[in-house]
Structures are given as C-alpha cells and as structure tokens.
Amino acid sequence: MKEFRLPDPGEGLVEAEIVTWNVKVGDEVKINDIVVEVETSKSLVELPIPFAGTVAQLLVSEGDTVDVGSPIIVIDDGSAVPTADPAATDDTTEQANDEVIEPGKIGGEAPGGRIANLVGYGSKTVEAKRRPRRDGGNRQDQPSQEMRQQVGAMFDQAPPSRPTDVQASLPTTASQPSGAPLPTPGPAPAEPGMASGSVLAKPPVRKLAKDLGVDLNRVIGSGDGGIITREDVQKVANGASPALDEGAASAPARRSTALVDRREPIKGVRRMTAQAMVGSAFTAPHVTEWITVDVTATMELLDKLRARREFREIKLSPTLLIAKATLLALRNTPELNAAWDEQAQEVAYFGSVNLGIAAATPRGLVVPNITDADALSLVELAEALNALVGVAKQGRTQPSDMSGGTFTITNVGVFGVDAGTPILNPGESGILCLGAINRRPWVIGTGADERIEPRWVTTLALSFDHRLVDGEGGSRFLADLAGILADPGQALLY
C-alpha cells in the first residue's frame, strides 16, 4: 500500500481544497494519471498520481480542505504480503510451535516451506504465568482483614439519612422545624447578556463586558444585524455612548429583521485575493489619475488588422492594442515597471515586462501574466493574450503563471463601467484600468474647422505606488499612452 500525499501545487502554498475525484475505490491507475482536482488559493490544479496500482481508499472527501503533506489517497501497488489462510494456520500451528530454530539463525523452515519467525509466528500454546504478588507482611498500604469485613458490612446495610455521629452531636430541638417557612426558591439570576432579549455578542465581547461590569442587555449594538462589538462595550463603560434604560433592558432588544440567506466560507482564490488587496492597500500609498481619450483611430486600426491574413485565425479585441501601447509607454517610465523592496530599502527596476491581465473567473479574480510581453510581436502578443484569458476563465491557470508580474492591466469596460480606481497587485508599482469604449460626442478640429462628431471614447485610470512613482511620472505615462491610442502612428517614435 502506498499513500499519496498532497504536494505543494504552487509556490509556498500550505493547503488546498479537494474539488473533484476522478477515481473511485477499485479503479486501476497508471503513473501520471490525473486522479484529483484541487483548488489552491490561486487556481484549480490537476494532480497526477506518481505510482500505479488499484485505488484502495480515498482518505478525504470532495469539499475538504487539506494541508500540504497530508495523505489523500491509498494505492495498492501489489507489494503487500498475502495473509496466510486461517484454516491452514490452524492445522500447522502445533508443528510450527514445535519447530526448533538453530542458534545463530533468524528463522527455520516450517512445514509447508514457510519460514518460522522468531517473534510472533503461530499461536501461543503455553499459558502466560503471572508473577505471584508479594504481600510484604507488614505493608501499611494493604487493608487488614478486619477493615475489609467492616467495609463489607457498611455496603450490606441501607445507607442512613445522616451519619450517626453527626445526628448524635445535634441538639434534639434541631430535628423539628420551627419559625416561618422559607420562601419558594425563584429562578436563578440570569448571567449578563443572557436575558430574554437574546443579546447578540461574541464570547470575547461577553468576557470584556463582564470584566468591565457592563450589562450587555443595556448596550446598543452597532455591528451587522445589531451585534454588539468591543467598541460598543468600551463606549458604555466610559460613558461615551448611551445605554438602554432600565425598562428597555428587560424587554427584547430591537434588532434588524434582515435574515442571512446563505453563507459561504472564505477560502481559495477569494481568500487569497482579499489578503493581497488588504496588504497592498495598507502598504503602498495609492494615487490614481484619469485621462479620457478619443480612440477612434485605434478602433479603425483594429478593423484593418482583422482583415490581415496573420490575424484571421486570432480573436482580436481593443485590449490587445491597448496592451501593446502600454508596453511602449512603459519604456519612458521605468519606475512603473519596478518594485519597492522595503527590507533592502531599494527600488528594484525590472529589465522586461511581465504583463499581468486581470481576469474574472467563477472562483474569483486572478491575475496571470505574459512573461517578457515587451519582447513579443503583435501576433505573438495576441496569441498569448487569448491563451491566457481562455485558461483563466476555466479556472485552470497554474500558480506559477500568476507570480512574477511587473505591471497589470484590468478591464472594467467589458462590464460597461466607465472607469475605476484599481488596487495595485502586490509587488508592483502600477496598474492600468480600462473603461468602456463608447460612442460619444467629441470636439475635433481647431479654429474654423472645429466641430462635434460622434467618436469612440474611453477613460483610462492609472493607480501607482507614490513611494517610487511621482505625479510627474504617472502623468507622463498616461499622456504617452493616450497619444499612441489617439494616433497609433506615434508608436513609431518608441
């Protein structure tokens, strides 16, 4: 039997969720057969089995989250030693036990050609002998025969209502009740926060209220659904927040009537995205700038490219030309293709552009990147872009393809949104947000030739890390990018 342990399917991942088993108990598998599909904190990954055999056991179920290194499946590779026939064992037990093994040998040959082991071979024929207990004569921890008889007599008698020696020591008048009868016991006092109002507070908040002497029944909750937070308790303790009056304290607190429809655990891509965005938002000082540009010439160029033979089998979109223009504009602003190294107190400038493309998938947002995108031709860039988006939408981008990015493009225009303020991908200094490309009235021409015409117009938003990118650098990049998109012929200048 061999156990297959969950490997690290990416870089530094510690756990994964079992999504789909491709095998069941009893199936035959070969080396490198895909047996399971797991979801990491970045994507879906198919895992091959490193050995062949029969599936003996699935140790985890679909939907379980498993730590890296934990066994997930057992494979019977045929190497297990067959168990002896029980009937044959009974017939040969006495012969095996009578077999004499010569000194210096590990085993001797038993009837039937079997090798008798020194330890654990056959059934035991001699009863184990227990070492006799030594009473020790004068040991004080052994109860005497007289004490045993007294204890036995105590259990033979019915237990008295009170011990005899205690009854003898009490006055005779104490056995008769006197005075007014005691009142009937009422209900036990409820703990703070456990009154009929069903106070909504988590255990740490309840403990804090108890330590501060705050009655949770008199606290107005400010959390979701009226839940009481630590801040609410501290404000009441400090007298900075009004509490419910005594009459309201005895009545059920008025809470939100909104009901939770469903809950989903935060895991996988969603958890990874949340951690990355929080870390980025509260680490790098973000600055966002916008520019609205007439991209009619770019849209006309896109139509011309679709008619060319090189692109007839390739799906083209405005994102391709905007990505190419972005790669050209980055040549003049290398600080946007860099990273802030806090530990080394250095700015790391990258020699090439690994262009990340944010893609929305059913499992969340992922940002795979095109390695050395600035070295690709337009045809190669188009092919790489289509392959990247196709794999990402299936949720099958490998973790290695989502690391090492240097600049990111996100497109909210596909949802009809005009613009946004994107958050930097961790480790990068810039991210470009593409807005929707719509027909809008636009002023063209100058002087006497000035007129208003419907044009293809879009808004671009650039967020950058203000620690290493100044406003001048971000503005220059947007101006260069807008110039190329307004007049693609300017690309010859880069």
Would the pTM of this model clear 0.75, i.e. be above it? no
Amino acid letter at 257? T
Please write the tens of the pLDDT for every residue from 347-369: 999 999 999 999 887 777 889 99
Please write the tens of the pLDDT for every residue from 181-236: 544 444 444 443 333 345 777 777 887 888 888 888 878 888 766 788 888 888 88
pLDDT of residue 120: 37
Please write the tens of the pLDDT for every residue from 91-102: 444 444 444 444
| For the chain, domain boundaries | 2-76, 203-247, 268-493
* Matching residue, tokens 């009893």: 26
Closest to 334 (Cα-Cα) out of 422, 407, 285 = 407
pLDDT of residue 135: 47
Instruction: Please report the beta strands in 367-450, taking only residues with DSSP state E, as ranges in sequence order.
Output: 369-370, 407-411, 430-434, 438-444
Better-scored residue on pLDDT, 339 or 247: 339
- How much of the chain, in percent, has pLDDT values that exceed 90? 39
Q: What class does CATH assign to 203-247?
A: few secondary structures
Residue 125 has pLDDT above 80, yes or no: no
Distances (CA, A) of 241 to 91, 209, 247: 86, 14, 18
Q: Running DSSP on this structure, what letter comes out for residue 309?
A: G
Q: What sign does the dihedral 97-100-102-108 (CA atoms) show?
A: negative
With b meaning 16 or more CB within 10 Å and e meaning fewer, what string describes 58-94? Answer: bbbeeeeebebeeebbbbeeeeeeeeeeeeeeeebee
Position 243 confidence tier, pLDDT thresholds 50, 70, 90: low
With b meaning 16 or more CB within 10 Å and e meaning fewer, what string describes 346-372? Answer: ebeebeebbbbbbbebebbbbbbbbee
Distance CA 396, CA 45 (A): 6
Question: Residue 40 in contact with residue 65, Cβ under 8 Å?
Answer: no
Closest to 233 (Cα-Cα) out of 245, 217, 249, 248 = 217
Strand arrangement of the beta sheet that strand 15-21 belongs to = 44-48, 34-39, 15-21, 65-67
Better-scored residue on pLDDT, 402 or 128: 402
217's CB contacts (< 8 A; 6+ apart) are 192, 193, 195, 197, 199, 244, 249, 250, 253
Q: What class does CATH assign to 268-493?
A: alpha beta
Catalogue the active-site residues.
466
CATH number assigned to the domain covering 2-76: 2.40.50.100
Distance CA 340, CA 279 (A): 14
- The tokens describing 361, both together, are 């998938």
Better-scored residue on pLDDT, 190 or 83: 83
Output 211-219 pairs: Cβ under 8 A, ≥24 positions apart: 212/237, 213/237, 215/243, 215/249, 216/192, 217/192, 217/193, 217/244, 217/249, 217/250, 217/253, 218/243, 218/244, 218/245, 218/246, 218/248, 218/249, 219/243, 219/244
Distance CA 48, CA 51 (A): 9
Instruction: Kindly tell me the number of DSSP H helices and DSSP E strands found in the chain.
Output: 11, 21
Question: Residue 45 in contact with residue 16, Cβ under 8 Å?
Answer: yes
Amino acid letter at 136? G
pLDDT of residue 392: 84
- The tokens describing 298, both together, are 């770019």
Closest to 121 (Cα-Cα) out of 142, 143, 94, 139 = 94
CATH topology agreement for domains 2-76 and 268-493: no
Tell me the pLDDT of the chain averaged across its residues.
Answer: 76
Backbone torsions φ then ψ of 248, nearest 5 degrees: -75, -25
Closest to 431 (Cα-Cα) out of 294, 210, 280 = 280
Q: What is the mean pLDDT of residues 102-120?
A: 41
Distance CA 170, CA 176 (A): 12
Q: Which of 85-89, 93-97, 302-306 has the highest mean pLDDT?
A: 302-306
76's CB contacts (< 8 A; 6+ apart) are 1, 2, 53, 54, 55, 56
196's CB contacts (< 8 A; 6+ apart) are 250, 252
